[in-house]
Structure 1
Amino acid sequence: MDTKRATIPCTGTLFDRSEYEERQRRVTEAVERAGLDALLVTSQSHLRYLTGDSGASTYFAPHPLILSPGREPTFVVRKFDEESIRAFSCIDGIIPYTQAYELTTVCGDVLRRLNLHNKRVGMELARSSLAPADVNALQQELPDLKVVDASKLVTCVAAVKSEVEIEALREAAIVTDLAINTFYELLREGVTETEMAAAIRKKVNAAGKELAPPLNVPFGERLRLPHARPANYSIRMNEAAFIELSGVSRDYCAPLCRSAVLGRYPGLESLHKVAEEAIEAAVETIKPGVTTGAVSAAIRKVVAQGARPEALRSRTGYQIGVYWSDRGDLSIEPDAEDVIDMNMSFHIPIILFDEGGYQIGCSESVLVTEHGAEILSRTPHTLHRA
């Protein structure tokens, strides 16, 4: 049998090949600007961004994508998944390995063949998909290899969205709004978190859409448990509810946090007002040329004036795009120096905690335009009262 003719062509990418090739070109240019000879991409979301492949099999061992100026991309993948990766990625140069321990040898052979074995090669050292043992083994295989941390290189390129990415973000925001409005419609005394989560998923799925995990929907006493999975806890009168979720379109997410009160809860209601004002300060501050640290400062100034300093326990934003969030992405946090540019997109969650440790707050997903921040949601971030 002619194995080449039997190979399944790439048919499963979510965007046209030209979109991925443009992303690879931009990353390769960034590799050159960084003074590197190549980049080994191993982050699951970065592989999705650059190739279309989900990276679902990287649990077995890293699947390094090797990008080097003047060379075609090379994907080192597990043999078991080779045909799936050919079908669901846009990479033609695929080199397989069979057992996890073979990765180092095979990857080393590829780097030798590309004459990169003694060059400056960037690696995503701060990403969980690349273990220290992987790096050590490769350096033992190639003792003259010069490993450079390039964890944020793809992040910074991917932060600026193309037109098709922006379209996907807008589509995801529509799904998010559908889910949030379902939450408002169904919130009543006695409904449980699990019932609410199931009803939201059912409504979204019935519309032919989907949500990206997780779906956080704590009620009442469980507001003290951020990111807790839905439980069989029913909301009662004069309790609050919080929801955080994201619709997804072509892997692109537009997350949102919203809060509601069933009856009255004066303490949390006043705290939510502070979160609303902080969101509005962030939207007012975001524009091309401003740093993410400056946006953080504007948010924290509002919180400091309107609530206890300890009410805010986390950073106040991060870039969004492929998947929901990733360690090492651009972050809206104190003293951060990343410069905001046009067509970047961020999720800005302002989650505050009262003296009893109960969370309340809201968020917006925004797109940076030449005029400032465009809010993607059509659901107001004011507190919902049921």
Structure 2
Amino acid sequence: MDRLGHLRAALAAQGLGGALLTLPAHLQAYAAARVSAGALYVAPVGATLLLDPRYASAWTPRPDTALRPYAHADDFLRALLEVIPGGSRVAVHADTLNYALGKRLEAVGLELVPADTLISGAAAAKTEDEIATLREAARITDRILQDVLSDLRPGVSERTLRAEIDRRLTAEADGPAFGTIVAFGERTALPHAQPGERTLRRGDLVTVDAGATLGGLHADLTYTVAFGPHPVAREWLALTAEALRAAEKVLRAGVSAAELDEAARAPYRAAGLDAFTLRGIGHAVGYELHEAPILREGSAVTVPADTVVTLEPGVYVPGTGGVRLERMLRVTPQGSELLGGPRLEEALA
């Protein structure tokens, strides 16, 4: 069954007449439309893609999806009401549906049903082509991060290093997947540090978190290294590598987020550092940087086969610094396939 088929089956099981998707990531996942605006209505039979005519050339026609161009905002609403049967119960991704559009659709008698988990879940499993693209995006990211980390020099600023990473991501892929994180020294204790003018000194920890975008799909990898001797770097890197190995060991189709998180958390707890970790282990990646399932502490959500996830254990001690290692993996019924990220034996070198 293809992705639209999975979505239709999930809609039918919930007694929903169709689904209205407006998030650009969903338009690409469900209709292969790489555009910044539009909508897709998925009916029990067939689907209709609504696009501004200027975007029509960015979409390759598909036998299961009709194209309905619209000229402006009012025409967009008319087009939606043409393709959505009156009085329908329609699944929507409530977290991203435009509020004003939702109110106008409800005003004409449509019942909009929040179905974020259903919509995201049906797109969680990736095709072989998508996995190949994610593997290549990870490979490009690995190469760039390994290159810049092997050429660190005292005095370089976080902002300058970020600019070089982003330059290469733009030259070698479709650009950065998100705002690249670079942190030196005590600022590595900030999980999502914004690069600033802090310059590199001997004895600093260095964390870089970056990803290439390729074909609309996002890579997300993190490396931490010590730039010269550091009092706790080796201990923290060894502990984080142990946490990552433990999570990867239990990763398989059907595993719960809670089980993955606990596997990674146990080494930190044994070392008395659990209070300095985040309350989750990672997330899925794809057409969005953070896709379902989100792998939070205590969550019963499970991971489907052919999902691509990141596992990113870390320890963050204010005033001292932090360590994070993040790898991307394809989930299989038997376990996982590593797509990219730091080599754990090299992290300790």
TM-score (norm 1): 0.81
User: Are the equivalent residues in 1 in contact too, given 2:222–2:342 (CA < 8 A)?
Assistant: no
Correspondence 1:338 to 2:312 = no
1:353 aligns with 2:316: yes
Closer/same/farther in 2, CA of residues 202 and 131 from structure 1, 3 Å limit: closer
- The verdict on how the C-alpha distance between 1:264 and 1:217 changes in structure 2, with shifts beyond 3 A counting, is same
Q: Deviations over 1:323-368 (max 9, x none)?
A: 3224xx2111123222223212101111221142633211111111
1:83–1:240 CA distance, 2 compared to 1 (3 A): same
Structure 1 residues 64-143: aligned runs within 5 Å: 64-70=39-45, 72-77=46-51, 81-88=52-59, 90=61, 91-99=65-73, 103-111=76-84, 116-125=85-94, 127=95, 129-142=96-109
Q: What SS is found at the alignment partner of 1:152?
A: helix
Structure 1 residue 309 corresponds to structure 2 residue 274: yes
Gaps of 5+ in 1: 1-20
Aligned to 2:229, the other structure's residue is in SS state: coil
Residue identity opposite 1:83 in structure 2: R
In structure 2, do the counterparts of structure 1 residues 69 and 30 end up closer, same or farther at CA, with 3 Å as the change threshold? same
Aligned equivalent of 1:40? 20
Q: In the aligned structure 2, how far is the partner of 1:374 from the partner of 1:249?
A: 20
* CA deviation string 1:6-31 (max 9, x = no partner): xxxxxxxxxxxxxxx94323322322
Which deviates more from structure 2 when the two are superposed, residues 154-163 or residues 205-214? 205-214
Distance 1:195 1:219 in 2: 12
Deviation at 1:241, TM superposition (A): 0.7
Residue of structure 2 in register with 1:9 after alignment? none
In 1, the alpha carbon distance for the partners of 2:289 and 2:100 equals: 28
- Partner of 2:326 in structure 1? 363
Partner in structure 2 of residue 25 of structure 1:
5
Task: State whether residues 239 and 268 of structure 2, in contact with CA within 8 Å, keep that contact through their aligned partners in structure 1.
Answer: yes
Give deviations 1:88-115, integer Å, cap 9, x for gaps.
354532141513x66445423432xxxx
Correspondent of 2:32 among 46, 52, 55: 52
Post-superposition offset of 1:294: 1.4
| CA shift for structure 1 position 225 | 3.8
Within 5 Å, which residues of 2 pair with 1:257-276?
A: 257-276=222-241
> SS of the residue aligned with 1:365?
strand
Instruction: State the Cα distance separating 1:242 from its structure 2 match.
Output: 0.3
After superposition, the Cα gap between the structure-2 partners of 1:201 and 1:123, relative to the gap in structure 1 and judged at 3 Å, is closer
- Aligned partner of residue 316 in structure 1, secondary structure: strand
Q: Output the CA distance in 1 between the equivalents of 2:272 and 2:75.
A: 56
- Structure 1 contact 218–241 (Cα < 8 Å) conserved: yes
Q: Which residue does the alignment assign to 2:285?
A: 320
Given that residues 293 and 302 in structure 2 are in contact (C-alpha distance below 8 angstroms), is that contact kept between their aligned partners in structure 1?
no
- Between the aligned partners of 1:334 and 1:107, the Cα distance in structure 2 is 40
**What is the rounded CA distance, in whole Å, between the counterparts of 1:287 and 1:352 in structure 2?**
24
Cα distance between partner residues in 2 of 1:158 and 1:371: 21
CA contact (8 A) 2:326 2:342 kept: no
Indicate if the aligned counterparts of 1:271 and 1:307 stay in contact, CA closer than 8 A. Answer: no
Maintained 8 Å contact 1:175/1:209: no
Contact 1:172-1:246 within 8 A present in 2 as well = yes
Tell me, which stretches of 5 or more residues in structure 2 are unaligned?
none
Q: Percent identity?
A: 22
1:106–1:370 CA distance, 2 compared to 1 (3 A): closer
AA matched with 2:316: F
Q: Deviations over 1:74-96 (max 9, x none)?
A: 2334xxx3231343354532141
2:156 pairs with 1:191:
yes
How many angstroms apart in 1 are the aligned matches of 2:237 and 2:217? 28
The CA distance in 1 between the partners of 2:318 and 2:193, in whole Å, is 20
User: Aligned-pair distance for 1:283?
Assistant: 0.3
Please, what is the CA RMSD of the aligned residues?
2.5
Question: Matched residue of 2:300: which SS?
Answer: coil
Amino acid at match of 1:220: G
